[in-house]
Structure 1
């Protein structure tokens, strides 16, 4: 992945995380809904098909999303 693509991916992740936190802080979405969104996103990548390289990349994305869920990064847990 190029440096530009890496930066774009990091920016997108930061923006999405900030949006999820804001939705939770404003009580527009409860924690379980946010976790559900993340689980759906991970499942999409876990079930993606393609070449071996594409599948490997999708698996890495799913692993990252699952790590975010496990770490609680996108919700402020009390």
Structure 2
């Protein structure tokens, strides 16, 4: 990926995370729905066939989305 594509991807990710946080803060989407949205986003990338030309990037995308789910980045959770 080129630097401009990397920047565009990071910008899109930041915007989407901010939107998910805002929707949760406003009570528009509960945490379980936000996690569902993220899982739905990861699913097609997880199901990539090894022979596809971009299989490696798809797996990286799925791994990143799953890290966001695990880390709770898109939902404000109270400290443990």
Q: What TM-score do you get using the length of structure 2 for normalisation?
A: 0.91
Aligned partners of 1:41, 1:14: CA distance in 2, in Å? 15
| Structure 2 segments unaligned to the other structure (5+ residues) | none
**Residues 13-24 of structure 1: matches in 2 within 5 Å?**
13-24=13-24
- For the aligned residue pairs, the C-alpha RMSD in angstroms reads 1.3
* Large movers: runs of 4+ above 2 Å: 48-53
Aligned partners of 1:13, 1:24: CA distance in 2, in Å? 17
Cα deviation per residue 1:4-60 (whole Å; 9 max; x = unaligned)?
A: 000000000000000000000000000000000001111111013474541111000
**Residues 1-78 of structure 1: matches in 2 within 5 Å?**
1-49=1-49, 51-78=51-78
| Structure 1 segments unaligned to the other structure (5+ residues) | none
Structure with greater helix share of residues: 1
